[in-house]
């Protein structure tokens, strides 16, 4: 069984046992999280699609880690003008293990 959930402005296809990196969620390591914005569920035979969300469906998970991703370099440059700007960015994330897909 799998589901499509919406969190952090993005959509993720998840199944039980999956470990996914999401946008930062509030909580500590070991806390449980519930995603109630479920867009779609499927058990292999039937597919339920919400308009836009399914009522009564939820996905439960547990926070495994809170951290920062690898650094990316943002470099702006205009040739022959002497304009250069170099910046870095590290996106924060939450790693979640999906424990239950109820829907």
The tens digit of pLDDT for each residue in 52-76 reads 999 999 999 999 999 999 999 999 9
Q: Which pLDDT band, with edges at 50, 70 and 90, does 103 fall under?
A: confident
CA dist list (Å): 92 to 8, 12, 57, 96? 12, 17, 28, 13
Q: Residue 51 class from Cβ within 10 Å (0-12 exposed, 13-18 middle, 19+ buried)?
A: exposed
For 45, residues 6+ apart whose C-beta sits below 8 A from its C-beta are none
For 57, residues 6+ apart whose C-beta sits below 8 A from its C-beta are 3, 36, 38, 41, 48, 50, 102, 103
DSSP H or E run through 96: strand 92-102
What pLDDT shows up at residue 26? 96
Q: Which pLDDT band, with edges at 50, 70 and 90, does 44 fall under?
A: confident
Q: Which pLDDT band, with edges at 50, 70 and 90, does 99 fall under?
A: very high
Is omega for the bond preceding 52 within 30 degrees of 0, making it cis?
yes
What pLDDT shows up at residue 42? 94
Q: Give the predicted TM-score (pTM) of the model.
A: 0.84
């Amino acid at each position: 069984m799998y589901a499509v959930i919406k969190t952090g402005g993005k959509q993720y296809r998840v199944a039980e046992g999956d470990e996914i990196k999401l946008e930062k969620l509030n909580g500590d390591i070991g806390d449980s999280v519930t995603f109630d914005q479920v867009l779609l569920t499927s058990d292999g035979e039937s597919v339920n699609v919400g308009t836009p969300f399914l009522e009564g469906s939820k996905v439960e998970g547990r926070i495994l880690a809170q951290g920062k991703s690898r650094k990316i370099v943002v470099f702006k440059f205009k040739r022959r003008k002497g304009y250069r700007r170099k910046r870095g960015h590290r996106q924060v994330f939450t790693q979640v293990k999906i424990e239950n897909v109820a829907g």
